[in-house]
Amino acid sequence: MKKYLRPKQSIPVVTGIIILSVLFGVAYSNWMAPATENLYKKMSIFNTVLRTIEHNYVEKKDPIALIDDAIRGMVKNLDPHTNYMTAEEVKKWNVDFKGYSGIGIRFDIINNKITVMSVLPNGPSEKLGFRAGDRIIKINGESAIGIKRDDVPKKLMGPAGTTVDVTIERETWGKPKDFTIIRKKIQVDSIPIALKLDNKVGYVKIDRFSATTGRELEESLTKLESQGIDRLILDLRGNSGGYLQMAVEVSEKFLPEKKMIVYTKGRIPQAYREYYSTGTAKHRTYPLIVLINHSSASASEIVSGAIQDWDRGLIVGQTSFGKGLVQTQYPLADGSVLMITTARYYTPSGRLIQRDYENKSYEDYIKEAYNDTLRQKELKDLPKFKTFAGRTVYGGGGINPDFWMKDKTPAPSEFVMKLFIDPNRYLYSYSEELLRNHPEIKEMTPKQFPNEFKISEAEIKGFANFVMKKGYKAKLDDFIKGSKDFKYLLKREIAYRLWKTEGQFYVNYQRDTVLKKAKDLFPDAEKLLAASTLKIK
């Protein structure tokens, strides 16, 4: 969770030292001198170590990379979330949370070619008719075959309004075609899917809390309400956070005005701040269920914590991550950024969101977040609080759900997972063949597809032969054992090609036991809402 403030300036600090020296005389200067002298000695030793490594180490090392590593080493012992990002890492972070200027595609490198995995809505590529499976073989007249993955954005991204020439190869074309694309500001959606499930249940998935999440949610709720929903599931599973202000905006969609959403408290008085709903939301107060899991963190925990404290909706799933530290961003001269913890987040009832991290390695801290047995066992030792309707909730360990529920779908085998993440994208490539062999798929709707399209055992054997002919070392028996998972993954690939996130959602929905069970809890959500202290519209 990132809180953005202007960096503190060093001049007032230096001035303060000078003033104190004048007021308290030589005694203050004598007290400060040893500390300053020791600091300069250590800085001199650091410089000597750096130069010694640079000139004498057995292998050549980049001194800039060594300094970056040293900075990371300095901050890593403060807490698990204080962080240092290089200028390049900042750029990548900004793409996810602020957007970028480019041509509006998601890509991968398959068989040494830039392959379009999806085309972003309303982007320049969509307007030119690009689609999943297209291959970019030239950029600005130069061959792009064999290009490195990290070099692709450097060539395709650029200032909005500028142009880039690409040559596209498509299986159904006799020869490649040339296009000139005008780059445009691209916002990566934080809400990949918002749709009406059966029985007037609305469903909204928020992937991250980016600069546009508040607006996206408003548009999604307006659309769903026009379709007649009278209940809502807000899915925050896997959402690791983002902007504090967006967490506030999302929360206030479901709360009346002047209700506290979160407050921050730190070492200095200025770190204390309260955030309230503004009453700008115009939506009906329908029963609400919020889904969380161990990967729901930071902004997700602010939202689910506020909803739970005000008894506005049921929290369903697994205990959230427990990341309740506020990072203030301090930009540095070279474009890098220091994220320093300056405060902690507390829910309206006074619960600390942050999980204990003292005397633990970073690896253990992360592992414990995903340990179901440990998270449930430690519950009895956490401090108890009351919601505004009098229910008992717990602090200091993330947000604990009202209904604990774990996805019971068996995890895929190691063989299946290795093939799934293989950079050659065999599943994607074979899905092309399945699409060619089954033209009837294109006559189906995204909702019909998962149930009506069947992949045969013969086709799984065909997939095995396809993969092994490419040089992948495996046995046919490995594919047969993983047949159920491969059928699911191949359907995901086909669905995403044809219908993007909506198609993929319906394939995933078949296996999403938590979402299916959560729908049965709306009677409990209705009772909770009726018992809350909120004025129901």
- Same domain assignment for residues 388 and 350: yes
Answer yes or no: is 338 within a domain.
yes
- Same domain assignment for residues 208 and 347: yes
Q: pLDDT digit string (tens) for 324-348?
A: 999 998 999 999 999 999 999 999 9
Q: Please classify residue 222 by burial: count the beta carbons closer than 10 Å to its beta carbon, then call 0-12 exposed, 13-18 middle and 19+ buried.
A: exposed
SS3 of residue 390 by DSSP:
coil
Write the DSSP symbol of residue 321.
-
Nearest to 235 by CA among 498, 508, 1: 508
- Same domain assignment for residues 419 and 403: no
Q: Is 259 noted as a catalytic residue in this protein? A: no
* pLDDT band (50, 70, 90) for residue 23: very low
CB 299 within 8 A of CB 244: yes
Question: Going along 48-192, which residue ranges are E strands?
Answer: 83-85, 100-102, 105-110, 113-119, 135-139, 142-143, 163-169, 177-182, 184-186
Answer yes or no: is 368 within a domain.
yes
Q: Is 323 noted as a catalytic residue in this protein? A: yes
Count the neighbouring beta carbons within 10 Å of the beta carbon of residue 446.
Answer: 18
CB 166 within 8 A of CB 158: no
Q: Would you say the pTM of this structure is higher than 0.75?
A: yes
Answer yes or no: is 530 within a domain.
no
Please tell me the total count of domains within the chain.
Answer: 3
- Same domain assignment for residues 221 and 310: yes
Q: pLDDT digit string (tens) for 453-475?
A: 999 999 999 999 999 999 999 99
- Same domain assignment for residues 243 and 149: no
- Same domain assignment for residues 369 and 483: no
Q: Which of 184, 323, 487, 500 is catalytic?
A: 323
Answer yes or no: is 154 within a domain.
yes
pLDDT exceeds cutoff 70 at 34: no
Q: pLDDT digit string (tens) for 365-376?
A: 999 999 988 888
CB 346 within 8 A of CB 385: no
The tokens describing 182, both together, are 């005008």
- Same domain assignment for residues 458 and 495: yes
- Same domain assignment for residues 134 and 210: no
Q: pLDDT digit string (tens) for 422-437?
A: 888 999 999 999 999 9
Distance in angstroms (rounded) separating the CA atoms of residues 33 and 331: 29
What are the backbone dihedrals phi and psi of residue 218, each rounded to the nearest 5 degrees, phi first? -60, -45
- Same domain assignment for residues 402 and 476: no
Q: Which of 118, 125, 190, 298 is catalytic?
A: 298
From residue 93, give the alpha-carbon distance in Å to each of 103, 206, 229. 18, 17, 35
- Same domain assignment for residues 432 and 305: no
Answer yes or no: is 48 within a domain.
no
Question: Kindly report the CA angle at 495 between 494 and 501, in degrees rounded to 5?
Answer: 135
Q: Which of 235, 309, 311, 402 is catalytic?
A: 309
Sign of CA dihedral 100, 106, 108, 110: negative
Q: Is 298 noted as a catalytic residue in this protein? A: yes
- Same domain assignment for residues 143 and 238: no
Give the residue from 131, 158, 186 where a domain finishes. Answer: 186
Any idea how long the chain is?
Answer: 537
pLDDT exceeds cutoff 50 at 256: yes
Q: Can you give the pLDDT at residue 379? A: 84
Give residue 153's domain range.
100-186
Distance from chain centroid for Cα 225: 26
Distance in angstroms (rounded) separating the CA atoms of residues 466 and 472: 9
